[in-house]
Amino acid sequence: MSTVAYIKDSEFDALLTSEVPVVVDFTAPWCGPCRKIGPLMDKLSEEYKDRAQVVKIDIDADKATAKKYSIRSIPAVLIFKGGEVVETIVGVADYEKFTAALEQQL
């Protein structure tokens, strides 16, 4: 079971006011590669729970945010800091790539 919460377009802007970096996994239920990185996002959420926020957006259910950030292929993981995109990782990557990107923002 995923420990990472799905958020809606309507919640997204409030999320960006967070004091800590925000990791957003743009995903969809039908996306095989997305399922591969799902457990990595869960692990990231668990390991960085006090230092970062990890959320998912279903691009089928919440299209506006995906469109706003020009998400054309998934999985796409965007890291935000201070409301701005500071890192984009598209496609399946290993856990170390996600942690390295997040560590740079801490």
- Catalytic site includes residue 59: no
Q: What is the DSSP letter of 94?
A: -
Q: Which of 4, 34, 41, 66 is catalytic?
A: 34
Phi then psi for residue 64, to 5 deg, are: -60, -45
- Alpha carbon distance 76, 78 (integer Å): 6
Q: Which of 31, 52, 79, 89 is catalytic?
A: 31
Radius of gyration of the chain (CA): 12
- Catalytic site includes residue 31: yes
The CA-CA-CA angle for residues 99, 105, 106, to 5°, reads 85
- Alpha carbon distance 49, 9 (integer Å): 22
Which are the catalytic amino acids? 31, 34
